[in-house]
Structure 1
Amino acid sequence: MLRAGGVAFVLWAVATVAFFAIRLIPGDPAEAVLGGPGSQASAAALAQARADYGLDQPLFVQYLLYLGRMLRGDLGTSYALKRPVIAVVGENLGGTLVLAVVALIVAAMIALALAAWSAQGGRAASAVSWVLEVVAAAVPHFWLAISLILLFSTTLGWLPPVSVPGPLGLVLPVLTLALPLSGFLAQVMRESILDAMGSPFVLAARARGEGPGGVFWRHALRHAAIPAIGLAGWAFGSLISGAVVVETIFARPGLGRSLLSAVQQRDVPLVLGVVLVVALGYMLVTTLTDFADRLVDPRLRAR
């Protein structure tokens, strides 16, 4: 019950901040209803649009009306697309989820490889992997996307420069999202592995005659997975925010590209709908990571 109340509070806070923040953007939302600033709509048409969509009401009244519709599960109609927001979000949700999930898996695999190499390869491997982790974590998504396009599309011609149907269309967008995230995850996992290698339970395993491979894969790696799992909620939020850049650069349909377009057009219902869905997804991922922590960490199950 307490968790459900927390989710409801977070959704209300996100909806409130997003509602007032989008209104701070210069421009008239009624222009989005009539096709954008370039539509050259007359004053009468703008007035009629404001009346039809309740934009002539005081801002606080519009906010209360929006909360009432949200409680009924009605996210409104997109100003620019003239379609229900739920339908627009539903069409674009799948593409973003696939991109985020695949990128998270790839980032975890790269981070695991770097952390294992760093922990078991000696000082040289530790120094090289540390440099790779720092560089990967610091690279901006837009710069990385452009660099990957220049290398694999323009120079080598191996991959398409824009997202196309099929696995090939996912490679560059996934790498653009996964590489910076893998740097953060590798740093956390490496420190956890090094900490675990000196822990009493690892010393006990060595005393029982277990080899280095068994100690690493059966004991140290499990210890290193605990903080990495705890970062899954943050990683999901990072991937969704990065999807705005990646989907735009690679012309890939998804929530990120829809959100950017809606903000530019002042499409208030669509912006709020996407933000609420992302917030709900973040809360869901956070809840799942709590359960995963309990499965991996016996101390949490004991509590």
Structure 2
Amino acid sequence: MAESVVRRRAALRVLGRLAGRLGGALFVLWAVASITFFAVRLIPGDPAQAVLGGPGSQASPEALAAVTAEYGFDQPVIVQYFAQLGRLATGDLGRSYALNMDVGPLVLSQLGGTLVLAVLSLALAWLLALALATWSTRGGLVAARVATSLEIVAAALPHFWLATSLIVVLSIWLGLLPPISTGGVAGLVLPVLTLAIPLAGFLGQIMRESLLTALESPFVLSARARGESERGALWIHALRHASLPAISLSGWAFGSLISGAVVVETIFARPGLGRTLLGAVTLRDVPVVIGVVMIVAVAYILMTLLTDAASRLVDPRLRLS
């Protein structure tokens, strides 16, 4: 009897946690959709002109009136807002004003390139951060100072400056890599480096401090007392615990990489959500802007859930709690 009560309570806790996560995800999507809708509406210009090709289209007053009535631009903004939320609730992202095509297929066709760029950049940032953290903690005072300086400088580098510098050095001076994305592996190197280096500096600082703390923790001292080598104490015991803060921040880092893709994809002429979003904002293409932002929000939520699961996998204490 007591065992069944315990199981029922555990199941209720799990369901409560899942309901909380689902509610939080829905709130994030609502907030993103609302902020994006009103932010785009604040851009100067007539949305009816955007549908007809922009201010340079020289559309007639009759055409503007017809488009205004068709798209409901003559309705109050609050009515347009709730109509937009209603369409999003049914999974309808609308139709692009500028391209005259459904937003869903348009956004999904650009999603793959941005996800590849973000995932590869995150993986490279982790490798660089791990290398800097382990070198700074085990390489002596000089290595610690050099690694710390590299982390600080890397974390402060703007994406546009770093991208330009990499193009000048690796493409123009040395001729090693193409300056724009060519669709192959070589065209990915410079965009990935541009996104990964600043993130590696940030993750490296966090991982180094956590690693120093973990190396002085009782469980590592106990492992050393049992005859564990310094390398084993580092790689088997300390590093797993030191990686927890960086794992928790990987969800935020993924979102940062997606936002950085706007700059990187534009500079390297790489197709993706970043260039699509920039073009849609320029043309006041509200459905495309909202569609891109919503897809990015969903990807961010999924990445946050994955990082939470990874944290529980690495740290048994989280699973027990």
TM-score with structure 2 length normalisation?
A: 0.93
Q: Secondary structure at the match of 1:241?
A: helix
Query: Moved runs in structure 1, 4+ residues, more than 6 A?
Result: none
The code of the aligned residue for 1:149 comes to: I
Offset of 1:20 from its aligned partner? 0.5
CA distance in 1 between partners of 2:223 and 2:240 (Å): 14
Q: Is 2:318 aligned against 1:300? A: yes
Contiguous gaps of at least 5 residues in structure 1? none
The code of the aligned residue for 1:46 comes to: L
CA distance in 1 between partners of 2:193 and 2:267 (Å): 13
Offset of 1:274 from its aligned partner? 0.6
- CA deviation profile, 1:18-70 (whole Å, cap 9, x unmatched): 10011011111111111122212122211111111111111111001111111
The alignment of Structure 1 onto Structure 2 pairs a total of residues equal to 303
Q: How does 1:4-43 map to 2 (within 5 A)?
A: 4-43=22-61
Residue 240 (structure 1) aligns with = 258
- CA deviation profile, 1:115-143 (whole Å, cap 9, x unmatched): 01001001100000000000000000000
Residue 223 (structure 1) aligns with = 241
CA distance in 2 between partners of 1:79 and 1:202 (Å): 60
Residue 137 (structure 1) aligns with = 155
Q: How does 1:204-215 map to 2 (within 5 A)?
A: 204-215=222-233
After the TM superposition, which of the residue ranges 218-227 and 35-44 deviates more from structure 2? 35-44
The code of the aligned residue for 1:10 comes to: V
After the TM superposition, which of the residue ranges 265-274 and 2-11 deviates more from structure 2? 2-11
CA distance in 2 between partners of 1:284 and 1:14 (Å): 15
The code of the aligned residue for 1:183 comes to: G
Residue 251 (structure 1) aligns with = 269
Q: Is 2:76 aligned against 1:58? A: yes
Residue 190 (structure 2) aligns with = 172
Q: Which residue of 193, 205, 209 corresponds with 1:187? A: 205
Residue 196 (structure 1) aligns with = 214
Offset of 1:292 from its aligned partner? 0.7
- CA deviation profile, 1:205-255 (whole Å, cap 9, x unmatched): 100111111011001110111111100111011101100000000000000
Q: Is 2:98 aligned against 1:80? A: yes
The code of the aligned residue for 1:195 comes to: T
Offset of 1:183 from its aligned partner? 0.4
Q: How does 1:150-161 map to 2 (within 5 A)?
A: 150-161=168-179
Contiguous gaps of at least 5 residues in structure 2? 1-18
Offset of 1:290 from its aligned partner? 1.0
Offset of 1:165 from its aligned partner? 1.3
CA distance in 2 between partners of 1:44 and 1:101 (Å): 48
CA distance in 1 between partners of 2:124 and 2:54 (Å): 40
CA distance in 1 between partners of 2:248 and 2:119 (Å): 16
CA distance in 2 between partners of 1:135 and 1:37 (Å): 44
Q: Which residue of 128, 136, 155 corresponds with 1:110? A: 128
TM-score with structure 1 length normalisation?
A: 0.99
CA distance in 1 between partners of 2:110 and 2:119 (Å): 15
RMSD of aligned alpha carbons: 0.7
Q: Which residue of 91, 105, 120 corresponds with 2:138? A: 120
Q: Is 2:287 aligned against 1:265? A: no
Offset of 1:4 from its aligned partner? 1.0
CA distance in 1 between partners of 2:54 and 2:171 (Å): 35
Identity in percent:
66
CA distance in 2 between partners of 1:27 and 1:219 (Å): 59
Q: Which residue of 284, 299, 302 corresponds with 1:281? A: 299
